[in-house]
């Protein structure tokens, strides 16, 4: 998710991050490593160079962490959108923001709270003409079964209100190697669906393909090229 938003930010999309599970400092550190395509801590002499480049990107971050009241979050998001002309909001993730888990008691209440949140962000996206990306953990499925739109945690409102649904799938091959791929499960306006293989580079914490990597690590090509609409 961080690399997805990083790709959009490099294209000039003003992005507001709400990271309720991972602290903002850690998120920014990951983004900088992905941008540089190497662990910056291993080449600390290049930190200032990459910090200056990252600072120029149109990123803004909410200061919340952990469970937060929906009203408080929406007020902060609306204010930031008005002040900074935000075009893309990322919420990671819905369960942490609402303080919900698969083991919580009172399923009706947690589903109601999630539906209320989905409705609030749907209204916000329409009113402010702003793209919203919500990260929702899936329900636990049987081993070996791929996830579907029905696997989204909560009620049906999340999938119904979404314009696009991306699912990170993982499958164990005969060689016992775990393979991941990105599935476009819903595409309201274009209609094109499909899958995209994901190959993770642990060193750079990135799914990006490096093109003609130079000594200063500035020639980076991000794949896939995100389409913002």
Give tens-digit pLDDT for 78-100.
999 999 999 999 999 998 988 76
164-172 and 131-135 strand pairing: unpaired
pLDDT, residue 212, reads 44
pLDDT, residue 140, reads 82
- What's the rounded Cα separation, in Å, for the pair 11 and 58? 9
Res. 216: pLDDT tops 60: no
What structural domains and CATH numbers belong to the chain?
2-162 (3.40.50.300)
pLDDT, residue 222, reads 41
89 has which bridge partners? 16, 132
User: What pTM, to 2 d.p., does this model score?
Assistant: 0.84
Res. 101: pLDDT tops 80: no
Name the residue with tokens 């991941």: 180
- What's the rounded Cα separation, in Å, for the pair 113 and 127? 21
Helical axes 70-84 vs 107-128, angle rounded to 10°: 20
Q: Which of 154, 200, 163 is nearest to 184 (CA)?
A: 163
pLDDT, residue 218, reads 42
List, in order, residues 6 or more apart from 130 with CB less than 8 Å away.
Answer: 81, 86, 87, 88, 89, 124
- What's the rounded Cα separation, in Å, for the pair 181 and 226? 16
The pLDDT mean for the chain works out to 86
């Amino acid at each position: 998710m961080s690399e997805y938003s990083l790709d959009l930010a490099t294209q000039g999309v003003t992005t507001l991050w709400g990271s309720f599970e991972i602290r903002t400092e850690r998120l920014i550190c990951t983004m900088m490593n992905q941008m540089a395509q190497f662990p910056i801590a291993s080449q600390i002499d290049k930190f200032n160079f990459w910090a200056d480049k990252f600072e120029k990107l149109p990123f803004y971050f909410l200061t919340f962490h952990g469970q937060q009241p929906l009203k408080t979050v929406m007020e902060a998001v609306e204010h930031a959108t008005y002040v900074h002309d935000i075009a893309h909001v990322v919420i990671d993730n819905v369960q942490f923001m609402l303080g919900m888990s698969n083991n919580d008691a009172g399923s009706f209440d947690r589903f109601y709270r999630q539906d209320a949140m989905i409705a609030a962000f749907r209204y916000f996206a329409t009113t402010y003409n702003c793209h919203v990306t919500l990260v929702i953990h899936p329900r636990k499925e049987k081993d070996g079964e791929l996830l579907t739109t029905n696997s989204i945690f909560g009620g049906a409102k999340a999938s119904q209100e979404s314009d696009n649904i991306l699912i990170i799938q993982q499958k164990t091959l005969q060689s016992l190697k775990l393979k991941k791929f990105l599935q476009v499960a819903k595409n309201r306006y274009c209609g094109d669906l499909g899958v995209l293989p994901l190959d993770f580079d642990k060193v750079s914490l990135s799914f990006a393909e490096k093109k003609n990597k130079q000594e200063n690590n500035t020639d980076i090509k991000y794949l896939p090229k995100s389409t913002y609409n």
